Structure 1
Amino acid sequence: MKVQKLIHNSAKGDQRAQKQFFDRYADQLFAVAKRYAVSHELAEEALFQAFLKIFEKLPEFEFINETAFYGWLKRIVINQCLMSRRKELNTLYKLETIDEERYDTLFYEESNHEALIELVNELPDGYRTVFLMNAVDGYAHKEIASMLGITENTSRSQFFKARKLLQKKINKEYGQSGT
């Protein structure tokens, strides 16, 4: 079924179309949710809540192209993950400290890609969230600040600290020199 027809039928409440819609986008959107949720279960919960919002707001959506549509879906999933963690994240930004020794003891035997994912996943929650939103999902610091209820400077600071910590770990793990 074409995307526009699938959207139209899903927006009208056609359960068969909604099932096809879910099947078409669930895996991609679950991967997005897993980046922001602290566990597999919370990512699933956020995804299902996001789909409820998607189906609720679908009649209002104006289709331009599939890329824009997927961006809209992704934004709803990210917002859902962040809303469910907002209070926790605000506390983490204020109290977060890094146990440098813990990170210095990490050793990875996976491929470079898997090792990098693991390094990102090992970042403290606040650092990881801002890093993913900026570096992976392309949000500007102003947008991140608004979505997380923090200042733009806090967003920049968290990103800078995450990047420095990742660089330090990459340099240590792979013997690269420099900053």
Structure 2
Amino acid sequence: MTTTKTQPAKKATTRKPATRAQPAKANSAPKTVAPKEQTKPAPKPKSAKPQPKTLIEALTTGQTVLMKVRANGTKRSLPYYAEGSGYRTLAQTATTLKANGKTVDAIAEEMKVSTATARRFLTGLSLAHDVEAGKFDKQWKPGTKEVIVHTVVAKQAKA
């Protein structure tokens, strides 16, 4: 692809233009440029997350999750309310209301959430306190992705 430059308009002169042909410049032919080789950018080295030293650090960075095993064998992940998070603040509010004698339904109504959500706030904060107290430290080793914190045992049918 060649581009042409626009030149400013020539000034009017009283002289006649030269009738002789101007010699052609040696480099006046348009240059052809070889297409550049398309090279892929060098892959960025994967920044490995540093190995957490504690269970709390692993939970906060998302390298480990807390799990509950249901009676039918399926797993459900449980949230960890980290110190200073928004959910932790909501859970502390729910716990304060519970300590003041309010029922779960009354807490849910006051916080404008469902009853199930209010219950989850209460159990989630309890779980966070257990984690911070070191209750599950023996079950976690560096590199572990899941920590089982609760296993539901199936009830036996009455005979």
* TM-score normalised by L of structure 2: 0.32
More strand by share: 2
Higher helix share: 1
**Larger relative contact order (CA 8 Å, sep ≥ 6):** 2
